[in-house]
Chain A
Amino acid sequence: MMRDAAPLVSVHDLTVRYGEAAVLRDVDLDVAPGEIVTIVGPNGSGKSTLIKAILGGVKHSAGRIERKPGLQIGYVPQRLVLDPTLPMNVERFLSLPHRIPASRAREALERAGVPEIGKRQMAALSGGQFQRALLARAILEEPDLLILDEAAAGLDQPGAAAFYRRIHEVREETGCGVLMISHDLHVVMSASDRVICLNGHVCCAGTPEVVANAPDYRRLFGEGTRGAFALYRHNHDHRHSQDHVQDAAE
């Protein structure tokens, strides 16, 4: 999808070391506008480090990271640990770091699928609502690139499925690129344009079909996932009626 356009972000030969150990070695990656790229890999494979590096929070010892000039990034962290001493309602949260009018906050919440939660305290939200509040904030500034670090990890399966569907819709609506980490292989395989299998280095990369059949991927994740993948593809041919609405109301 739109692979010809200049990439939003482009990583070349990236190496990151923590002390002696190289967490990432010679990693190449790029994300084009409108493309959903998913990073999979076992724990400790450097997925989060790669995201942090792209955000600019990790010093790399070799390689380079190029961002499209003026690139606007929306970021959804895996888990936001809100200290209980910090009072924060959803509207205020959306106004960080820039004040926005209430109408824009409401619009973003609607697009994230949770129009009703503006006045609620962040700490009082359910897991699904919380992640959608994070999503609302991430899409608020019309980002060119949406980065999600296992953003659905805390959700149950229907919740996660609804969340990823919402990401898909946001991509359709805004044409933003999406870079995400996911453990949920079924979702990854059905929802991504390209998959990058990471284990310190890029083991394999390509369309979901290519990666699912790659020997490296099968060594890391086993044979079992292929069957489930096929099943999921099949199931996903029909439209799911709006079950994410239920999730939002929980």
Chain B
Amino acid sequence: MLDDFLTRAALAGIGTGLAAAPLGCFVVWRRMAYFGDATAHAAILGVALSLAASLPVFVGTLFIALFMAMVVSVISGRGYAMDTLLGVMAHSALAFGLVGVTFIQGVRIDLMAYLFGDILAVSRSDLAVIWGGAALVLALIGWRWNALLTATLDDGLALAAGIDPKREQLVLTLALAVVVAVAIKVVGVLLITALLIIPAATVRPFAVTPERMGIMAALVGMTSAWIGLRASYEFDTPTGPTIVCVTALLFILSNIASRIRQPG
């Protein structure tokens, strides 16, 4: 069954959607969208490093995404606003990555594949990485769920309950790095944040508890991946961007639906 490239692509997309969307809820709740962008953009530098060192791309991107997240948390609060800092980091990492890739001799790589994903070229081993990463992220988020939620509400509340908010931030950072490393093959570095944020934002009007929002976001993420893949096959469009388009359309539909249900 895995011999069919469309089946592999569908499984890759669904796995990524499943892992990205619940984590995306925290990205939305904690207003970390730009942080997600910075981590994702930095991954292209990780691609360059991996190719230079002949390492699997997953390893390099994971390393750089983590490194990026650490640097940001270390230098934050030292004179620059967080969004300025993230803007500097995100775009310089992207630029250095793009420049760095051109120095790598002997390898002809398709940059577009890393910028926008190449889901149709997903191999069996890619699939193993994607589902392994997804399982890791879901286990991490599920394990820390209540502590993460408490720390998201208020540092003091977390501290009083014996939860270290810095440690929870680290958990999210780690999960984010894994999702970036996993999703790069599916939607590419430029669109990863979309898979995090849009499903969460789509289901917000219909969620009454954080748990339901997480589950519904995962369903939207997986559905978008599947519909997007079918649509890109049908219309011969690039798959990663098509998946994001489907998510965006669902977001619009959801908002229209919630307006109709609740006028004003």
* CB <8 Å contact, A75 and B204: no
* CA of A98 to CA of B145, assembled, Å: 11
Given A74-B160, A75-B160, decide whether A92 and B209 contact each other with a Cβ distance below 8 A. Answer: yes
Residue of A nearest to B200 (CB): A85
Residues of B within 8 A of A121 (CB): 208
- From A76-84, A103-111, A185-193, A203-211, the one touching the partner chain is A76-84
Q: CB-CB < 8 A to B28: which residues of A?
A: 83, 85
B52 within 8 A of A: no
Contact count band on A: 20 to 34
Chain B CB within 8 A of A56 CB: yes
Residues of chain A within 8 A (CB-CB) of B154 are 77, 80
CB pair B146 A83 closer than 8 Å: no
Q: Using Cβ atoms and an 8 Å threshold, which residues of chain A touch B159?
A: 52, 55-57, 75
Asked if A83 meets B31 with Cβ closer than 8 Å, knowing A97-B150, A97-B163, A98-B146, the reply is yes
Is A35 among interface residues, defined by CB-CB distance under 8 A?
no
Contact B156 A55 (CB under 8 A): yes
Q: Does A96 contact B (CB under 8 A)?
A: yes
Report chain A residues within 8 Å CB of B152: 83, 86
CB distance from A182 to the nearest CB of B (A): 16
B237 shortest CB reach to chain A, Å: 30
A88 at the interface (CB under 8 A from B): yes
Residues from chain A with a CB closer than 8 A to the CB of B139 are none
The 6 A-B residue pairs whose C-beta atoms are closest, nearest first, are A75-B160, A55-B159, A97-B146, A87-B207, A86-B29, A97-B150
Can you list 13 A-B contacts (CB < 8 A)?
A55-B156, A74-B160, A75-B157, A75-B159, A85-B204, A86-B210, A87-B213, A88-B210, A92-B209, A92-B210, A97-B149, A97-B150, A98-B146
